[in-house]
Amino acid sequence: MKDFDKIIWRDALTFVDFFASWCGPCQMMHPVIDRFRVEMNGRADVYAIDIDDRDMLEIIRRYNIRSVPTLIFFRRGEVLWRHSGAIGYEHLKSVLEELERLERVG
């Protein structure tokens, strides 16, 4: 994830899952995010960042990640949507659809 800034500054919608391996709700989100990645088929780039990865500390501080999972959609470096806690697939899909409509993406 050394290129985190390059990734979030692109024109594409980028979804980032900040998680921890010891976090139960994060484990519950893995199948949801995997399904989202597959079924949305490139409509948003999907990344996962382990908050226990020391190389990610600066990014975790920058975005004030205090609880996991924290889910963030970015575009052109801007945080478009942020949520802490587990959510369902349909909710995540509806957020993407709303962002596509608002951002005129897709």
Please report, for the domain that includes residue 59, its CATH number: 3.40.30.10
Point out the catalytic residue in the list 8, 16, 26, 99: 26
Please give the average per-residue pLDDT across 21-48, as a whole number.
95
Q: What is the mean pLDDT of residues 8-36?
A: 96
**pLDDT of the residue at 63:** 97
Q: Read off the pLDDT of residues 36-92 as tens digits, 9 standing for 90 and up.
A: 999 999 899 999 999 999 999 999 999 999 999 999 999 999 999 999 999 999 999
Task: Provide the Cα torsion 24, 30, 36, 37; round to 10°.
Answer: 150
Q: What pLDDT score was predicted for residue 103?
A: 87
Give residue 10's domain range.
4-103
pLDDT at 105 over 80: no
- Choose, from 16, 23, 65, 99, the residue flagged as catalytic: 23
User: Is 86 one of the annotated active-site residues of the chain?
Assistant: no
Domain total of the chain:
1
State yes or no: is 64 an active-site residue.
Answer: no
Instruction: For residue 25, say if its preceding peptide bond is cis, omega within 30 degrees of 0.
Output: no
